[in-house]
């Protein structure tokens, strides 16, 4: 026989005794177990209360952070828009959005060349043409660029025409328009130099042949300039423009120091 230690009831098998003790029929055991259950619940309740205190503290900090963020956001909303400047370099998007329209038509470039393209520009060959382009074609009267380089190594440019922003890969469009349109002015400069030399020869008469040799050297020099300018390799022109118009280099003080007029 198996006797229950809680209520003294007896059972024929141990399994019946176990079943009895695990049910509400064994009231005495349930009473004995109650203090243990209560203690366990109190321990769990204490842990929950600690977690609640921690969560309240975290919630307080989060509310404080949100308040500070709202104050910062409100102050930013009240500020007037500004051009972002990092190390004196204007923000790229602002530059692109504010690009003035660039006229690369043959007629416009030739008109500008008649007024400003000089021997000094021609004598500097590709670099001189780049200086002329920078000083008189791709900047407006306020000094604002109308053409910018967005990738100096690949010499990719951007400009705005009447239809919108145009991407100029390897500056091919700018290079073709400038060199093609400058041919009349360069031919005119060369021809005028030849006329001047011939006129001077007539005035000198039969002066020493040394003077004539010097004039021949001058004429051959201008012919060499024309030959170099008409070569297929326009890398020096492109590299010079890329340097002057690269967005990271667009700084007013820097441009003043590196650009000199060809006149």
Q: Residue 187 burial by CB count (10 A; 0-12/13-18/19+): exposed, middle or buried?
A: exposed
Whole-prediction pTM:
0.55
| 3-class DSSP string for 112-136 | HHHHHCCHHHHHCHHHHHHHHHHHH
Domain edges within the chain? 2-77, 86-258
- Return phi, psi of residue 97, to 5°: -65, -30
Residue 209 pLDDT: 45
pLDDT, tens digit only, all 263 positions of the chain = 777 776 777 888 878 877 776 776 665 555 555 566 667 777 888 888 888 888 888 888 888 888 888 887 777 666 544 434 344 344 567 777 788 999 999 999 999 999 999 989 988 999 999 999 999 999 888 888 899 998 888 999 999 999 889 999 999 999 999 999 999 998 888 777 777 766 666 665 545 444 554 454 445 566 777 778 888 789 999 999 998 888 776 644 444 444 444 44
**Distance in Å from the first CA to the final CA of the chain:** 126
């Amino acid at each position: 026989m198996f006797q229950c230690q809680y209520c003294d009831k007896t059972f024929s098998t141990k399994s019946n005794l176990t079943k009895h003790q695990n049910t509400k029929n064994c009231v005495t055991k349930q009473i004995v177990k109650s203090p243990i259950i209560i203690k366990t619940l109190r321990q769990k309740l204490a842990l929950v209360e600690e977690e609640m205190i921690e969560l309240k503290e975290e919630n307080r900090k989060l509310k404080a952070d949100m308040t500070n963020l709202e104050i910062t956001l409100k102050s930013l909303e009240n500020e007037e828009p500004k051009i972002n400047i990092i190390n004196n370099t204007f923000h790229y998007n602002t530059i692109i959005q504010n690009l003035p329209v660039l006229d690369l038509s043959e007629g416009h470039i030739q008109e500008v060349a008649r007024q400003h393209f000089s021997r000094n520009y021609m004598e500097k060959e590709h670099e001189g043409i780049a200086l002329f382009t920078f000083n008189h074609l791709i900047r407006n009267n306020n000094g604002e660029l109308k053409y910018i380089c967005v990738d100096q190594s690949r010499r990719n440019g951007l400009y705005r025409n009447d239809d919108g922003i145009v991407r100029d890969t390897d500056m091919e469009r700018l290079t073709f328009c400038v060199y093609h349109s400058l041919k009349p002015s360069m031919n005119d400069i060369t021809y005028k130099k030849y006329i001047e030399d011939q006129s001077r020869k007539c005035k000198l008469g039969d002066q020493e042949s040394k003077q004539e040799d010097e004039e021949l050297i001058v004429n051959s020099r201008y012919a060499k300039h024309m030959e170099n300018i008409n070569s297929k390799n326009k890398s020096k022109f492109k590299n010079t423009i890329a340097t002057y118009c690269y967005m990271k280099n667009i700084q007013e003080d820097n441009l003043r120091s590196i650009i000199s007029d060809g006149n």
